[in-house]
Structure 1
Amino acid sequence: MSHYFRQDYLQVPDGAGLYFQVLGDGEPGMVLCDGLGCDGFAWKYLTPYLARDHRVLRWHYRGHGRSGIPQDRSRFGMLYTCEDLDRVMDAAAVKQGVIFGHSIGVQVALEFHRRYAHRVRGLVLICGSYGNPLDTFHDSTYLKRVFPLIRHLVEKYPERAGKLVHSLLSTELAMQVALTVEVNRDLLSREDFAPYFEHLAKMDPVVFVRTLDSMANHTAWDHLPHVDVPTLIIAGEKDKFTPARLSRKMAERIPGAELMLVPLGTHTAPLEYKELVELRVERFLRDRLGIHLAPPPPRLPSGEGTPPR
């Protein structure tokens, strides 16, 4: 594995400083696109796995993680996100990459292919859909119906909203409810899930609702038949955020797409079934793209100590 590491900020014309980091080296690059309100927690295991002999690019959307907010706070949405990714790939010296998307990052990956197809070698779409996520969240339109009110209140009372969200997400009760209702607590460790709550609790609520609004009104459904690169779709059978049926529809509509359903997997399948996901991604890269990953270092049998130096 290459030990190359770089982290930096890219200043874009409208003032948003975009944070990115590069780990490892080797073409083509592996580009990881987060979900909404995330700063990379879903890639904890895939990043070092892919970086053994490839350049892995991780980055934060506007107002997410370490990235800044544009001077014009209305400049959120898919157009800006795709333009940002194009610029970040230039800054990270990734000419062409396999674009990975988790959750709403799937929409980003698909729209990026629509606009910048020459930069996309392949797609790995994990626990996400082609668009309009409020229409299908928990297989209900309830969130779509109440979202306009939520956004109105957040926009009108941003400071109060921020304090309320922070106080709620910082409680043990919120963590336990999420572990019980949204994910498979028997497979997902608390330490792997906690960073999501920590980031969401600190995020500007206005940025969150404006980004969600832009994503909620976006769809790449019409583009799916025109995806002309090898595509792997991974879905959790128990995913409540983006039901697995949406992944099946994507797989049917994208020419030659491969689909893996993770049994008992939820929206955090890459953390719950890390080895299964890693091996499936490796097989896809090898068989469909001719990309070979170096073998991982041997793992010690359970109970053995540190190997001799």
Structure 2
Amino acid sequence: MKNEYPDYFYSEDGTRIFYLTNFKKEELNEDEVVIVFNYGLVCNRKHFSPQEEYFDNLGYKILIHDYRAHYSSSGQDQIESCTFKNITKDLKGILTLLDIKNPIMIGHSMGVNVTLEYCKNYPQDVYKAVVISGTVLPPQDIMFDSNIVDVASPFIKSFAKDNPKVFEFIWKNSYKNPIARKIVLDGGFNTKKVEDSFVQIYMKKISELPKDIFFHLLDQMKEHDIISSLENINTPTLIIGGDSDKVIPNYLQRILHQYLPSSKLYILKDGSHVPQIDFPELTNKRIETFIKRT
């Protein structure tokens, strides 16, 4: 973004939450909308880089934050506190501190869980929501349209427990392996639109996270009971998905559309699990139209 103002918010339990804005607090007009980005499971702000640039250039106020136990926030030694309830409480604290009254929540993948949890807990405090490639069903049951994750997870956890140094090495260095990067690229992105360099940066950022965070948050998603609250979430919501999403099957977006009463559905042809990176121009224009629509 052209201007960036980093700062910290301290939660009730003392966790330091990093956030970044493209505006100073005194520059925020009363009732002005602010776009808030919620990234996915072991993801980072780069998954919204085209959206950051686009809406920053249009003059929108933007807030980016790191979840507890992620990157520039603290809590890496207490990952059990990294729950959707706590993440949304942290975010509520930041918005209150900055006097943001009309946030537009944009969540991708696990960030959809964060966004919907916020809409459930603070229904009067969200102007609009955009949810991209998310699932309200346990990801272990539906990822890659099978239960392979549920079957494989116990074996991987057991390996990590019995071979901590080996697992740590793999976690920290997999981004250097072109075969590993190709597997991630083929599985999660449109290979005609996204380059290896993006995946390498993405995987390198993963190596900065605690090695146990992936399975912890995967369990949090499995236990998340948000599906029972969808019909009570009346926040105007734009649901975006890619019709070639291999990670989260496309029917999950239709389930969201069916149960969220004030939702619109937008499916991108040839879009992967990260359609906002595959087709940033189309995604940005659709989000802009949704934001402007009264």
> Shared fold by TM > 0.5?
yes
- Residue pair 2:246, 2:273 contacting (<8 A) in 1 also: yes
**Matching residue within 48, 65, 75 for 2:53:** 48
In the alignment, structure 1 segments of 5+ residues that lack a partner are 291-309
Residue aligning to 1:268: 274
Structure holding more helix per residue? 2
Report the secondary structure of 1:223's partner residue.
helix
1:80 and 2:86 are equivalent in the alignment: yes
Residue aligning to 1:114: 120
Shift of 1:157: 5.0
Report the secondary structure of 2:80's partner residue.
coil
1:35 and 2:40 are equivalent in the alignment: yes
- Residue pair 1:158, 1:205 contacting (<8 A) in 2 also: no
Specify the code of the residue in structure 1 equivalent to 2:202. Y
Residue aligning to 1:102: 108
Q: How does 1:108-187 map to 2 (within 5 A)?
A: 108-154=114-160, 157-187=163-193
In the alignment, structure 2 segments of 5+ residues that lack a partner are none
1:212 and 2:244 are equivalent in the alignment: no
Q: How does 1:168-247 map to 2 (within 5 A)?
A: 168-247=174-253
Shift of 1:69: 1.4
Specify the code of the residue in structure 2 equivalent to 1:204. P
Residue aligning to 2:13: 14
Shift of 1:224: 1.3
Residue aligning to 1:295: none
Report the secondary structure of 1:202's partner residue.
coil
- Residue pair 1:38, 1:65 contacting (<8 A) in 2 also: no
Shift of 1:61: 1.1
Residue-by-residue CA offset, 1:271-307 (whole Å, 9 max, x unaligned): 11000001111111112xx4xxxxxxxxxxxxxxxxx
- Sort the Cα spacing of 1:158 and 1:20 in 2 relative to 1 into closer, same or farther, 3 A: farther
- Residue pair 2:239, 2:263 contacting (<8 A) in 1 also: yes
Q: Distance in 2 between matches of 1:277 and 1:251?
A: 18
Residue-by-residue CA offset, 1:182-201 (whole Å, 9 max, x unaligned): 32111113333332111112
Report the secondary structure of 2:129's partner residue.
strand
Shift of 1:117: 1.1
Residue-by-residue CA offset, 1:150-201 (whole Å, 9 max, x unaligned): 3344356544422122233321121122223332111113333332111112
Residue aligning to 2:63: 57
Report the secondary structure of 1:106's partner residue.
helix
- Residue pair 2:142, 2:249 contacting (<8 A) in 1 also: yes
* TM-score normalised by L of structure 1: 0.86
Q: Distance in 2 between matches of 1:41 and 1:162?
A: 24
* TM-score normalised by L of structure 2: 0.90
Moved more, 97-106 or 77-86: 77-86
Length, aligned pairs only = 287
Report the secondary structure of 1:44's partner residue.
helix
Shift of 1:134: 1.5
Q: Distance in 1 between matches of 2:79 and 2:206?
A: 19
Specify the code of the residue in structure 1 equivalent to 2:35. M
Residue aligning to 1:299: none
Residue-by-residue CA offset, 1:91-138 (whole Å, 9 max, x unaligned): 344223111100010011111111111211111001112241121100
Q: Distance in 2 between matches of 1:103 and 1:72?
A: 23
- Residue pair 1:9, 1:20 contacting (<8 A) in 2 also: yes
